[in-house]
Amino acid sequence: MFKKMALISISSILLSGCGGGGESGDGRFAVSASAGEGGTISPASQRVVKSAQATLSVEPDAIYTIQSVTGCSGSLDGNTYRTGVVNSDCAVTASFALKPLTISLDTLPQSVAENTSTPLNIVVENAKNAPIVAVKAVGGYGLNSISIEQTSGARFNLVTQNVDRNVSVELEVAVQDGSNASRVIAQRFSFVIENTSFAAPLARYQVITENAARILALTEERQVSAAFSGAATVLAIKHNVALKQEAITFGNNSIYGELESQLNQNPVATYLAGNIGDTELSTAMASIESLMTAHVAPYIASINQSMPAIAAQGVSAAFPHQWHINTELNSVSLFVGNAELGHVNNGKWAFNSDFEYLDAVINSDCSL
Residues 230 and 328 in one domain: yes
Last residue of a domain, one of 194, 217, 237: 194
Distance CA 68, CA 91 (A): 14
Does the CA dihedral 253-258-263-265 come out positive or negative?
positive
Tally of domains in the chain: 3
Residues 246 and 282 in one domain: yes
Residues 111 and 93 in one domain: no
Residues 188 and 124 in one domain: yes
Summarised one tens digit per residue, pLDDT across range 297-308 is 999 999 998 888
Q: Does some domain include residue 142?
A: yes
Domain with 325, as residue range(s), is: 198-362
Cβ atoms of residues 65 and 99 within 8 Å:
yes
Distance CA 183, CA 132 (A): 11
Residues 333 and 249 in one domain: yes
Last residue of a domain, one of 98, 121, 156: 98
Summarised one tens digit per residue, pLDDT across range 316-354 is 889 999 999 999 999 999 999 999 999 999 999 999 999
Q: Where do runs of H (alpha helix) occur along the chain?
A: 2-15, 199-210, 212-217, 219-238, 253-265, 267-272, 278-311, 356-362
pLDDT of 274 over the 90 cut: no
In this prediction, residue 241 carries a pLDDT of 57
Average pLDDT, stretch 211-217?
96
